[in-house]
């Protein structure tokens, strides 16, 4: 079951959470923090710590550790509070979150 993260195709198994698929594919940074832009990449994997918030199909602040994968999902690294979009080509955000 394939979806994309920041426009890059990611393979996954049905039923697993988005975070598991991303970590299996070698992804490390799921979001950057609003104030200093420091990276976060998931911590608790049970939906508590909010380290893994990403933008999924345009909806920000989705806990990808407890959200199952679905074919064709558009997952994006969340910058700050998620109003902003990550620009994979430049490796930075497209504006100030």
Can you give the binding site for other proteins, defined by CB under 8 A? 16-17, 20-21, 23-24, 28-30, 38-49, 51, 65-66, 68
Q: Provide the minimum distance between the beta carbon of 4 and other proteins in the complex, in angstroms, as a whole number.
A: 19
CA-angle at 74, arms to 22 and 78, nearest 5°: 70
Q: Which is nearer to other proteins, 31 or 84 (CB)?
A: 31
Closest distance to other proteins from the beta carbon of 44 (Å)? 5
Question: Is residue 9 a contact partner of residue 71, using CB atoms and an 8 Å limit?
Answer: no
> Quick one: 39 or 95, whose CB is closer to other proteins?
39
Task: Rank residues 50 and 85 by Cβ distance to other proteins and give the closer one.
Answer: 50
d(CA 38, CA 18): 21
Least separation in angstroms between CB 51 and other proteins: 8
Residue 38 or 83 with smaller CB distance to other proteins: 38
């Amino acid at each position: 079951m394939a979806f994309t993260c920041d426009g890059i195709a990611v393979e996954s198994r049905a039923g697993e959470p988005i975070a598991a698929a991303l970590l299996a594919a070698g992804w490390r940074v799921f979001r950057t923090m609003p104030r200093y832009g420091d990276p976060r990449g998931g911590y608790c994997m049970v939906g508590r710590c909010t380290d893994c918030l990403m933008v999924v199909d345009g909806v920000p602040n989705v806990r990808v550790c407890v959200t199952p994968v679905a074919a064709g999902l558009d997952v994006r690294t969340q910058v700050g509070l998620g109003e902003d979009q990550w620009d994979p080509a430049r490796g930075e955000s497209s504006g100030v979150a």
